[in-house]
Amino acid sequence: MKRKIAIIGGGIVGASAAYYLSTLSGHEQLAVTLYDDGTGQATSAAAGIISPWLSKRRNKQWYQLAKDGASLLMQLAREANLATDVYAQTGTIITRTDPTDMSKLWELAKQRAAEDPDMGEIQQLTAEEVKEKIPLLSKGQPGVYVSGGARIDGAKFVDDLLTQASQVNLTVKHGKVTLDEAGHIVTPAGTKRFDQIIIAAGAWLPDLLAPLGMKVAVRPQKGQLIQLNVQDFQDYENMPVLMPEGERDVIPLGHGQLIVGATHDDEGKFDLSVTKEATQDLLGSAQRFVAGLTVDSIAEAKVGTRAYTEDHSPFFGRLPMHPKILVASGLGASGLTTGPLIGRLLAGTAIYGGKPDWSKYEKNLANYFS
């Protein structure tokens, strides 16, 4: 008889867990069911940047998780044969306008590149050289180019992984589910029992665990981005992603499309409405780099809800009082970088059991529960 594993949440962690539950050794003995209602999912509204190496964050555990996550994504893109509109190693450019800050950034880049070959080639660029690499820019800033950086489309990434897993051992159920006091899954069709449950529900984790008498230190944050129609440079369909100092990220998609974002709205929480203020913020940031953009250039706006912890660190692992339940949350704005690795770690634990030591990636799980 096959072991039954459930996943609640079809975002970056849930979809990655489902994919690895269909590919890791032992997957032949599994029947996996994923539940997701799609409401407010951060991944489906995200177009992200995979470039953690020059982050200002001092959290060494987060950096190790993000660095290893970026490396895993390179491998996963090859294994899953992801198209370039899903994941593309375009390179990234991080800018600094102050010469002293630029010098510090360049020294950090050289140090990190020596430690991690996946970072690829690094170059120090003038403002004009940045414009040469991203010709749609009317204004450049000096920066550091990292060839290992990439862009990723969250919605397409998730759809691709779930499609591949569904051809092996995954069944996807659309709709909302809850837990009962015993930790079983309550669906519209009745209570379902599983051997293992992976809960990857982001900011909705506290509501799901409430019936178990548990409180989770996770808060929601609203994020919005916009997609713009811009000039199509047909010879530059894979331009680097721009991470300008003090501005929103600029993500060229090629084919005359550009994404700018995303905002960070702690007050918005679960509000999924597109706001005029956020749209103006994003458009203003784009206009400072690309001439001729107007409100009419906006093709689409997307909104999602991220999950944050007070220390801005993700957590994941097996619940001590409920050993059949594995959880993950608190990924924040770096979820597209760290989520696939977290999903793989949870999938491996669900298959092989045990209590792996993930202390190099995270603080003790007990820090986030009461």
Asked if 302 and 314 count as a contact pair (C-beta separation under 8 A), the reply is no
Burial profile 335-349: b = 16 or more Cβ within 10 angstroms, e = fewer: bbbbbbbbbbbbbbb
Regions in the chain scoring below 70 on pLDDT = 40-45
Structure tokens belonging to residue 160: 């691709």
Residue of 132, 131, 112 whose CA lies nearest to 122 = 112
Question: What's the pLDDT at 44?
Answer: 66
User: Can you tell me the distance from the alpha carbon of 187 to that of 35, in angstroms, rounded to the nearest whole number?
Assistant: 9
* The CATH fold of domain 92-147+220-308: D-Amino Acid Oxidase; Chain A, domain 2 (3.30.9)
Helix (H) / strand (E) containing 94: strand 92-95
The structural architecture, per CATH, of the domain 3-44+155-218+311-368 is 3-Layer(bba) Sandwich (3.50)
pTM of the model: 0.96
Q: Taking a C-beta distance cutoff of 8 angstroms, is the pair 124, 116 a contact? A: no
Residue 297 — left, alpha, or beta (φ > 0 → left; ψ -120 to 50 → alpha)? alpha
CA 318 to chain centre: 21
Closest Cα partner for 326 from 189, 192, 208? 208
At residue 43, the pLDDT reads: 67
CA angle 335, 337, 338 (to 5 degrees): 65
Domain coordinates in residue numbering, the chain:
3-44+155-218+311-368, 92-147+220-308
pLDDT at 253: 93
pLDDT digits (tens, 9 = 90+) for 221-263: 999 999 999 999 988 889 999 999 989 999 999 899 999 989 9
The whole-number pLDDT of residue 39 equals 78
Phi and psi, residue 334, nearest 5°: -100, 20
